[in-house]
């Protein structure tokens, strides 16, 4: 059974970006449903999910979001290099 939820265009753009990142990470296509399940499971595994929820509810300027995305991109690339060196993956 499926349901429809209303989200803003900005939220849809962010969700699209998250789905793309998860697809890259997992190496396969994902539906929105699968991506949301993965994100929710990861959130529930957080040691202090209330902090994550509080952080997620904050508003950030577009400039700050771009800076944070760049930091994440650089760190992800660094982690991928380490994984490749360590495991040859």
Token pair of 68 as six digits: 């944070």
Print the domain residue range for 83.
60-89
Is 24 in the same domain as 37? Answer: yes
Report pLDDT digits (tens) over 57-66.
888 888 888 8
Q: Same domain for 37 and 69?
A: no
- Tens-digit pLDDT profile for residues 65-81: 888 889 889 998 998 88
Cα-to-chain-centroid distance, residue 88: 25
Q: What is the pLDDT of residues 21-60, one digit of tens each?
A: 899 988 999 999 999 888 888 766 656 667 767 777 888 8
**Distance from C-alpha of 82 to C-alpha of 89, rounded to nearest angstrom:** 10
| Residue in the block written with tokens 């991928």 | 80
The total of structural domains in the chain comes to 2
Looking at the domain assignment, is residue 2 inside a domain? no
């Amino acid at each position: 059974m499926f349901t429809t939820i209303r989200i803003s265009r900005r939220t849809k753009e962010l969700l699209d970006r998250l789905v793309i990142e998860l697809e890259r990470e997992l190496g396969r296509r994902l539906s929105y449903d699968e991506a949301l399940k993965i994100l929710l499971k990861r959130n529930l595994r957080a040691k202090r999910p209330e902090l994550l929820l509080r952080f997620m509810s904050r508003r950030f300027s577009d400039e700050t979001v771009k800076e944070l995305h760049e930091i994440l991109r650089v760190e992800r690339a660094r982690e991928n290099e380490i994984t490749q060196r360590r495991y040859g993956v």
